[in-house]
Amino acid sequence: MELLTNPLSLTILLPAAAGLAIFAIPRERAGALRYFTLAATLLVFLVSLRLWTGFDPAAAVMQFVLDKPWLPAYGVGYFLGIDGISLLMVLLTTFLMPVSVLASFRYIKENQRAYYACLLFLEAGMVGVFAALDLFVFYLFWEAMLIPMYFLIGIWGGPRRIYAAIKFFIYTMAGSVLMLAAILWVASAQHAATGAWTFSIPALYGGALTTQAQFWLFAAFALAFAVKVPLFPFHTWLPDAHVEAPTAGSVLLAGVLLKMGVYGYLRLAVPLFPQAAVTFAPWLAGLGVVGIIYGSLVAWSQHDMKKMVAYSSVAHLGTVMLGAMAFEPAAVSGAVLQMVNHGLSTGALFLLVGVLYERRHTRMIEDYGGLAKVMPGFAAVFMIVTLSSVGLPGLNGFVGEVLILFGSFRVYPWLAAGAVLGVILSAVYMLGMYQQVVFGPLRHTENKILQDLNPREWAYLLPLLVFIVLIGVWPNPFLRRVLPAVDNYIALSKQQPAPPPASIGLTLGGKEAR
């Protein structure tokens, strides 16, 4: 029963159950399917609010912990719990879900039952990744999520959807399988050292591993997460997947899935293998900065709005990685906050592009212009979101970026300087796009009859705007909850592991001499 009384577990199980229950609704009843899904995701959001209200911001421990033995032979447990970092990620997920569902009402016309079932299963998987404190459970959710996302892109996506879906699946899976081997290795090393099997993440922190083993293990984890972030040069799946996915898919990809990569570094790769992490960190931060500049330059040259937003994600996540790899309180908490900010503002950008696409069936910047005259409401929302994305003071993006830049400047001054260049570039291309789409004369006659935002669209954009402004002017409630977790992360990254027993070594060949 604890499975259902624990709000964290309920946040995972409820959408999964709803995903199954939706098959009881006849497939022709489109309205019932939509409102059922909307109600379910709203209910999940309400349940997850219980996590916010019941969370003790001062405590530096995992909260809402649930630990049920699952596969005792391997010491695998259904072990859940959240700290400040995962709290924000879980809430971001449950918050973006009803938004995505509302945004799908008109766009999705075919096979709606399967579509909404995929969204619900996806939600269960995403929350599960952020809530898992057991490596096995984490990997399970991490991989299981691929299936619904693969179908979302491949069935309801754009013209090149099949290519994009396969690329997304294979890239992520190829990145992750080595992580599976590494997970098994960590657990068996722990087993060899202590005589007990466990996959519990906190129990594996500070495990006895040689420096060389740490190096390889960190590399395996880092590769899986680098693909997901995506870190340059592992980002090539992202533009395809983002552009071809349906609007809701893009929102969730950008808003939540990319965060899993950074979250993986924060929760697993760095704390599990701190010595290797310290060696790798400057390189990862450097790749982040390369991503900022590269992503911005490529975004600048795009004519397709969705592609531009997709590449801007590469740049934003590069900033986040720079912060996460600085091991400095301001930078890391800025990175966590920026993950939320990016989810909100990039999610909103994808929604706005979707709004235009539903009306005109084109995403080319040249096909628009002068929209301020026919769609004033849209222009206003677009303005706020664009400014949030480029980091205007008073809006959410500013807080995160400033924290990251200030914090990381103390550690990597040159890299931080490079990141500042990226911030400037992002203002150039984002504002450039805004100007071309919204201002100027109404060149195309088709655009003269465009409808402004309808109530449904307002309904899903307004909550995003509220948080964009709220975090901008009053970030403290969010940062306060993140800081203890960030301190933990930094402490873990500095710890010295116990000396490894001589009997364990990493072999790629025959049987290890024991």
* Residues that contact another protein, how many (by CB under 8 A): 46
User: Contact 247/117 with Cβ under 8 angstroms?
Assistant: no
Residue closer to another protein by CB (options 192, 372) is 192
Does residue 511 bind another protein (CB under 8 A)?
Answer: yes
Q: Give residues 17-76 in contact with another protein (rule: CB under 8 A).
A: 70-74
Q: What is the DSSP letter of 110?
A: S
Does residue 259 bind another protein (CB under 8 A)?
Answer: no
Residue closer to another protein by CB (options 151, 294) is 151
Out of 174, 466, 473, 491, the residue judged to bind another protein by CB under 8 A: 174
Residues 6+ positions from 17 with CB-CB distance below 8 Å: none
Residue closer to another protein by CB (options 58, 73) is 73
The string of DSSP codes covering 180-249 is HHHHHHHHHHHHHHHSS---BHHHHTT----HHHHHHHHHHHHHHHHHHTTPTTS-THHHHHHHHS-HHH
Q: Could you tell me the smallest distance in angstroms from the CB atom of residue 355 to another protein?
A: 26
Does residue 144 bind another protein (CB under 8 A)?
Answer: yes
Out of 79, 139, 412, 489, the residue judged to bind another protein by CB under 8 A: 139
Q: Could you tell me the smallest distance in angstroms from the CB atom of residue 206 to another protein?
A: 20
Distance CA 158, CA 175 (A): 25
Distance CA 193, CA 367 (A): 64
Indicate the SS3 state at residue 505: coil
| Residue 200 β-bridge partners | 134
Burial of 72 (0-12, 13-18, 19+ CB in 10 A): exposed
Out of 97, 132, 165, 339, the residue judged to bind another protein by CB under 8 A: 165
What mask of x and - would describe binding to another protein in positions 77 to 116, judged by CB under 8 A?
Answer: ----------------------------------x--x--
Report the largest interatomic distance among the alpha carbons of the chain, rounded to a whole angstrom: 78
Q: Give residues 378-417 in contact with another protein (rule: CB under 8 A).
A: none
Q: Could you tell me the smallest distance in angstroms from the CB atom of residue 77 to another protein?
A: 12
The amino acid sitting at 328 is E
Q: Give residues 188-217 in contact with another protein (rule: CB under 8 A).
A: 188, 191-192
Out of 64, 130, 136, 294, the residue judged to bind another protein by CB under 8 A: 136
| Residue 78 β-bridge partners | 68
Does residue 228 bind another protein (CB under 8 A)?
Answer: no
Indicate the SS3 state at residue 327: coil
Residue closer to another protein by CB (options 65, 184) is 184
Tokens 């809701």 belong to residue: 248
Does residue 180 bind another protein (CB under 8 A)?
Answer: yes
Q: Is 295 left (phi over 0), alpha (psi -120 to 50) or beta?
A: alpha
| Residues within the interface to another protein (CB under 8 A) | 70-74, 111, 114, 136, 139-141, 143-144, 146-147, 150-151, 154-155, 161-162, 165-166, 169-170, 173-174, 176-178, 180-181, 184-185, 187-188, 191-192, 506-512, 514
